[in-house]
Structure 1
């Protein structure tokens, strides 16, 4: 079984999304010791933004093939200016590829990445969840759920939010997300063994 682990936060060791994505991968490794993990740091080694030449060669790209080869994709994503980091967006642009990860059928688009599991660890400074007065500003979780759902993957998002509201709020949010990361890993292993 192959796992692709991506981090995109520019915050380095202080990143909550990196801590949570690492916890997800660690728990998956504990329950499946033969898990083959490939790690990419999109902030340290950014992918160039999309160009026409890159767009015309997407079906031959290494990024889409790496995505297709993975059974599980774990993504650490910060929340900057109401969306995902541009480094992550550059990668996402390379995995939504016609006739590789989706196709057009008689009734519209059909995802081709069915059975793939995508787990997103998302860290937000403020509170943008359902019921929040800022919910309409949230374009990261919505974007990632839409893209990965469009290509047919099963998507789960682990959110740590309110991180900018003080040390106690930050610790509480990260602890809650880490607990959810453990549950996510366990539920995946249970489902995979059925």
Structure 2
């Protein structure tokens, strides 16, 4: 059975287009679903986290293990998933702070990627990501969209290169067209 990790980054619970899209995508794909709602506190990295992360696992103190416990859980969720379905609202041309905090918690050298003589290599290969994008005025893929390129890059950095975007962009400009485009892209996922 397919295991899906659904990640919602919208600060809005009601009326969120990205949450609506992730719901539709997960319903279409079916399978076992783990939901990670990033509106619950995902802490920013701090000095204690960095110190714990760079301490070899077998040398970490109990406090350092506790410091990394949420990160370990988030990494395990990604490792267990076959498919990630990520709700990505574009806020001020970029990703929400909560999504960036999640990325910081899961991008760990020696765990989700490693450095090699030829550069970094992602360790989470063989997974798929579907990113559901919603924006009020920013056109996905445009020069002012710093969110979709970032997500494609960071997912590839950890080894997830099969990335599909479902976009409901420019919702404040033409909501009907934005929703229609997203629906067409969701239907294509079933093909």
Q: Distance in 2 between matches of 1:47 and 1:127?
A: 26
1:112-131 correspondence to structure 2 within 5 Å: 112-130=123-141
1:158-185 per-residue CA deviation (whole Å, 9 max, x = no partner) reads 11111012xxx2122112212212212x
Q: Give the equivalent residue in structure 2 for 1:26.
A: 27
1:122-166 per-residue CA deviation (whole Å, 9 max, x = no partner) reads 111114245xxxx2221100110000011111211111111012x
Q: How much is the aligned-residue C-alpha RMSD, in angstroms? A: 1.6
Q: Give the equivalent residue in structure 2 for 1:93.
A: 104
Q: Give the equivalent residue in structure 1 for 2:42.
A: 47
**Number of residue equivalences:** 173
Contact map agreement 1:20 1:174 (CA 8 A) in 2: no
Instruction: State the TM-score, normalizing by the size of structure 1.
Output: 0.83
Corresponding position: 1:156 with 2:164? yes
**Which of 170, 173, 179 is the matching residue for 2:178?**
173
Contact map agreement 2:8 2:88 (CA 8 A) in 1: yes
Q: Distance in 2 between matches of 1:84 and 1:181?
A: 21
Distance 1:12 1:40, change over 3 A: same
Q: Distance in 2 between matches of 1:10 and 1:137?
A: 21
Contact map agreement 1:164 1:170 (CA 8 A) in 2: yes
Q: Distance in 2 between matches of 1:55 and 1:178?
A: 41
Q: Unaligned regions of 5+ residues in structure 1, if any?
A: 30-34, 188-194
Q: Unaligned regions of 5+ residues in structure 2, if any?
A: 58-67
Q: What SS is found at the alignment partner of 1:26?
A: helix
Q: Give the equivalent residue in structure 2 for 1:32.
A: none
Q: Give the equivalent residue in structure 2 for 1:192.
A: none
**Which of 139, 147, 161 is the matching residue for 2:154?**
147
Q: Kindly state the Cα deviation for residue 40 of structure 1 after the two structures are TM-superposed.
A: 1.8
